[in-house]
Amino acid sequence: MRIGILTGGGDCPGLNAVIRAVARSSFSHGHEMVAVREGWRGLVEGKTTPLSPRDISGILPRGGTILGTSRTNPYGMAGGVDRVLATFAETGLDALVAIGGEDTLGVAAKLYADRDFPVVGVPKTIDNDLSGTDYTFGFDTAVSIATEAIDRLHTTAESHNRVMVLEVMGRHTGWIAVMSGIAGGADVVLVPEEPETVESACERLVRRHQQGKDFSIVVVSEGYELSFASGERRLVGGEAAASDQFGHVRLGGVGHALAQEIEARTGYETRVTVLGHVQRGGTPTAHDRVLATRFGLKAAELVRERTFGRMAALQGDSIVDVALEEATRQLKRVPQAILDAARALA
Ligand code: F6P
């Protein structure tokens, strides 16, 4: 078989580990690999090159993606889908492995449903918001980086008696905020799933300081809507003008808005750190390397069996496959039990 492989959407640590696993496994079964450059754009614009064993050597610990990525949506452009199909046929491909999140896999699911396109998916995102899989790779690395940031903020916060606000990514779910908040012992964690009001968060900070603590750590997820007792809610940074081809608004900035509110309401000196793309860069954790490798091996197996329209997934300790459609049907939000754990010791 000649197997194409692409990575789409925001990059994350572990993409290269998946590419390596898919390619190595496929080479060992006598198949050829083709690199599709920059996500779906590679098939829309005909950007493909052969992928050799040499190309994948030494990439396991490397962050980013050797294939490049983009947020191109073939369904969002005139003739996009036909160009995808044309490039696929002209390159002589028999199958495609699409590594991506909600958007990239959403296109894969649609192509499979509408055009019987021979595609297999691998779930990637630091946000961990894909259904059908317990975890996506890249998430553990992002949580580790955010946790280290909280640890570092603790020492400077206590030296200066300050409130430190850490803004993390996660889009419309609070997985990174909640998990790093628990791991780092944050005092307040604000997420989209449970939009606590600013007043209530400030009351908790004041209570903590009255009990003798003179510093606090607040973790806020970029998709948390600034919520007030009056019922007002504000999504910061969600300007439609900055939306991508999939219609997603660009988030960011809630940390600064929140810090102003905290300082004004409590009088405590407050500082902000926006972790930004640091949490998506660099080498994957051992956990993500293992998960990415297992996903890649499963994807290669599904291709060999010609079991298309499926996605490799983690359920418990097992790697299984689920329908692409199931994986992209709805966002996986943080369950109440984990939200409660973040609150229990704060
Ligand atoms: O989906 C991954 C993610 O990092 C989100 O957490 C974040 O909102 C978005 O991508 C940032 O996108 P960009 O890299 O285009 O700024």
Instruction: Write down the mean pLDDT value for the chain.
Output: 96
Q: Is the CB of 280 under 6 A from ligand 1?
A: yes
More confident site: 244 or 27: 27
Task: Indicate yes or no: pTM above 0.85.
Answer: yes
**Average pLDDT score over residue span 275-281:** 97
> pLDDT > 90: what percent of the chain?
93
Spacing, Cα 1 to ligand 1 middle (Å): 34
Mutate to test the pocket of ligand 1, among 172, 280, 328, 331 (most ligand atoms within 8 A of CB): 280
Query: Which region among 116-130, 235-249, 281-295 has the lowest average model confidence (pLDDT)?
Result: 235-249
Q: Which residue, by CA, sits nearest to atom 2 of ligand 1?
A: 10
More confident site: 237 or 332: 332
Catalytic residue among 127, 129, 288, 321: 127
Residue 127 is among the residues annotated as catalytic for this protein: yes
Q: Which residue, by CA, sits nearest to atom 15 of ligand 1?
A: 10
In angstroms, the CA 153 to CA 280 distance is: 19
**How many CB atoms neighbour CB 178 within 10 A?**
28
**Average pLDDT score over residue span 184-199:** 97
What is the DSSP annotation of 298-330? HHHHHHHTT--SEEEEEETTEEEEEEHHHHHSS
29, pLDDT greater than 70: yes
Q: Which residue, by CA, sits nearest to atom 16 of ligand 1?
A: 250
238, pLDDT greater than 80: no
Q: Is the CB of 157 under 6 A from ligand 1?
A: no
**Cβ atoms of residues 96 and 286 within 8 Å:** no
| Range list of H helices, the chain | 15-28, 40-44, 80-90, 102-115, 139-160, 175-184, 198-210, 254-266, 286-304, 324-328, 336-344
